[in-house]
């Protein structure tokens, strides 16, 4: 980040204030920021606050002759190491997708030969509208990278995807694009989410895993530069950007996807894989037969993906398993590490009283050859970052 220059295009939206925080983060990390404020953006944050925080002139209008004399708009679009659009409104994304150039921001985006990162922010219906989704698909094909949007309550009172990513997340995406991290050149496999084991074509057996911890780990490894293959069951949280996503439903599909993704330098198996599948699953929807007799499900054991990878021929140098326990967490997890043959086990207590399963926080114990280490309760994102750093250290030693 040190010595890099970011051209930051601030579009018009309630979330524009977050771009001020982003400027502070970038400058604190040693980057220079050239701010460009769209006319709509200037309705939400003032040119004065933007330029004061950036410590530089803010560019606002295409036809400012003084600006053109000092630095033409073509040149302005080329001096940066990265162009960041935050917030990227539906209108700005539409202009970018169509290649329109009717103001300074859109002209710069059309004239540039620099990588572009966009952080969308808009009302949830505008985000899910077919036109916006078409524009996004086009922009991805054009090589534009995205961070967010987040899901949650919006300023307009509605709920869903469309919130601008937090400044820290945009900052992390920027540093990922600019910096080579300690895991650059490494391939890491991450499994996440629950599995669904069919009973019949419409019913299945599942578990309460949201996929939040596995998703955070994939994102943290990506942020350190790793090429991540993310094999996920049907999770509640969306898969991270910037990783290769392989979607599966059953444990057997997950095993096949994991084997296909090898070789890898490390594997982090955070998925909550069903131990059993229904052996007598029906090919057609099961019906009540009027006798009051309930059908009997028979089970057979699923393959243990972690054990099979740990003991396989193409074993990654570092294999990390998870252990979700409700009692004697450490003892059960330590036994599991030996039984499954993995290097580390990340153990956590998923008793309902902890609120960990499906929640935003986690309290884990990392168990390795060296013994066990209890980490304080922290956000799943923080657990993920700490684990990613440990993995980077282990792979480089």
Site for ligand C5P in 242-261 (CB under 6 A): 251
Least Å distance between CB 312 and ligand C5P? 12
Task: Give the residue, chosen from 33, 231, 269, 364, that forms a contact with ligand C5P under the rule CB under 6 A.
Answer: 269
Q: How many residues bind ligand C5P (CB under 6 A)?
A: 14
Handedness of CA 94, 27, 220, 383 (dihedral sign): negative
Residue 273 interacts with ligand C5P (CB under 6 A)? yes
Per CB under 6 A, the segment of 92-100, 107-115, 232-240, 315-323 that binds ligand C5P is 315-323
Q: Catalytic residue at 156? A: yes
CA distances to 4, 54, 379 from 171, rounded to whole Å, are 13, 15, 18
Q: Which lies closer to ligand C5P via its Cβ, residue 97 or residue 273?
A: 273
Q: Answer yes or no whether residue 305 interacts with ligand C5P by CB under 6 A.
A: yes
Query: What's the CA gap between 86 and 168, in Å, rounded?
Result: 13
Residue 215 within binding range of ligand C5P, rule CB under 6 A: no
Point out which span in 122-130, 131-139, 228-236, 302-310 binds ligand C5P (CB under 6 A).
302-310
CB 213 within 8 A of CB 362: yes
- Compute the least distance from the CB of residue 251 to ligand C5P, in Å: 5
Half-sphere exposure of 214 (CA within 13 A, CB side): 38
**From the candidates 71, 137, 156, 260, which is the catalytic residue?**
156
Cβ neighbours of 72 (radius 10 Å): 12
Q: Which is nearer to ligand C5P, 86 or 267 (CB)?
A: 267
Tokens representing residue 240 in the block: 């991270």
CB of 246 to ligand C5P, least distance (A): 15
The three-class DSSP label of residue 26 is: helix
189 binds ligand C5P (CB under 6 A): no
Exposed/middle/buried for 29, CB within 10 Å: 0-12, 13-18, 19+? Answer: middle
Out of 91, 103, 304, 381, point to the residue binding ligand C5P (CB under 6 A): 304
Figure out which of the listed residues 139, 219, 321, 349 binds ligand C5P, where binding follows CB under 6 A.
Answer: 321
Q: Which of 59, 171, 204, 322 binds ligand C5P (CB under 6 A)?
A: 322
Please, what sign has the CA dihedral across residues 188, 194, 198, 203? negative
Residue-by-residue DSSP string for 134-171? HHHHHHHHTT-EE---EEEE-TTS-EEEEEPPPHHHHH
By CB under 6 A, tell whether 105 contacts ligand C5P: no
Shortest Å distance, C-beta 256 to ligand C5P: 13
Q: Which is nearer to ligand C5P, 95 or 277 (CB)?
A: 277
Mark residue 291 as left, alpha or beta (left: phi above 0; alpha: psi -120 to 50; beta: remaining).
alpha
For residues 194 and 211, is the Cβ–Cβ distance under 8 A?
A: yes
Between 184 and 328, CB nearer to ligand C5P: 328
Footprint on this chain of ligand C5P (rule: CB under 6 A): 191, 251, 269, 271, 273, 275, 302, 304-306, 321-323, 336
Active-site residue list: 156
């Amino acid at each position: 980040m040190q010595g890099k220059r970011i051209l930051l295009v601030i579009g018009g939206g309630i979330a524009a204030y977050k771009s001020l925080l982003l400027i502070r983060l970038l400058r604190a990390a040693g980057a220079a920021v050239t701010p460009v404020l769209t006319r709509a953006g200037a309705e939400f944050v003032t040119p004065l606050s933007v330029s004061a925080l950036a410590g530089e002139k803010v560019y606002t209008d295409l036809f400012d002759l003084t600006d053109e004399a000092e630095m033409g708009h073509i040149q302005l679009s080329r001096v940066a190491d990265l162009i960041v659009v935050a917030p990227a409104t539906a209108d700005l994304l539409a202009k970018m997708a169509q290649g329109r150039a009717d103001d300074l921001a859109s002209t710069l985006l059309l004239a540039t030969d620099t990588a572009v990162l966009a952080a969308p922010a808009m009302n949830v219906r505008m985000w899910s509208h077919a036109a916006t989704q078409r524009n996004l698909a086009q922009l991805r094909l054009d090589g534009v990278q995205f961070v967010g949007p987040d899901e949650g309550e919006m300023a307009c009172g509605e709920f869903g995807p469309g919130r601008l990513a937090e400044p820290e997340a945009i900052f992390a995406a920027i540093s990922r694009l600019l910096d080579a991290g300690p895991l650059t050149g490494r391939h890491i496999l991450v499994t996440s989410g629950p599995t669904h084991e069919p009973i019949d074509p419409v019913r299945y057996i599942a578990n309460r895993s949201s996929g939040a911890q596995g998703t955070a780990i994939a994102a943290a490894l990506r942020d350190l530069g790793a090429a991540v293959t993310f094999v996920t069951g049907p999770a509640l949280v969306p898969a991270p950007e910037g990783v290769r996503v392989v979607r599966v439903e059953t444990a057997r599909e997950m095993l096949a996807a994991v084997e296909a993704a090898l070789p890898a330098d490390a594997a982090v198996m955070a998925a909550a894989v069903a131990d059993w599948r229904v052996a007598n699953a029906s090919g057609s929807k099961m019906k009540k037969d009027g006798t009051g007799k309930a059908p009997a499900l028979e089970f057979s054991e699923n393959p243990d993906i972690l054990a099979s990878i740990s003991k396989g021929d193409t074993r990654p140098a570092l294999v990390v398993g998870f252990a979700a326990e409700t009692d004697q967490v450490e003892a059960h997890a330590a036994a599991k590490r030996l039984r499954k043959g993995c290097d580390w086990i990340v153990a956590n207590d998923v008793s309902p009283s902890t609120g960990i399963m499906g929640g935003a926080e986690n309290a884990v114990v990392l168990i390795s050859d060296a013994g066990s280490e209890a980490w304080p309760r922290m956000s799943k994102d923080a657990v993920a970052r700490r684990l990613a750093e440990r993995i980077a250290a282990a792979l480089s030693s």
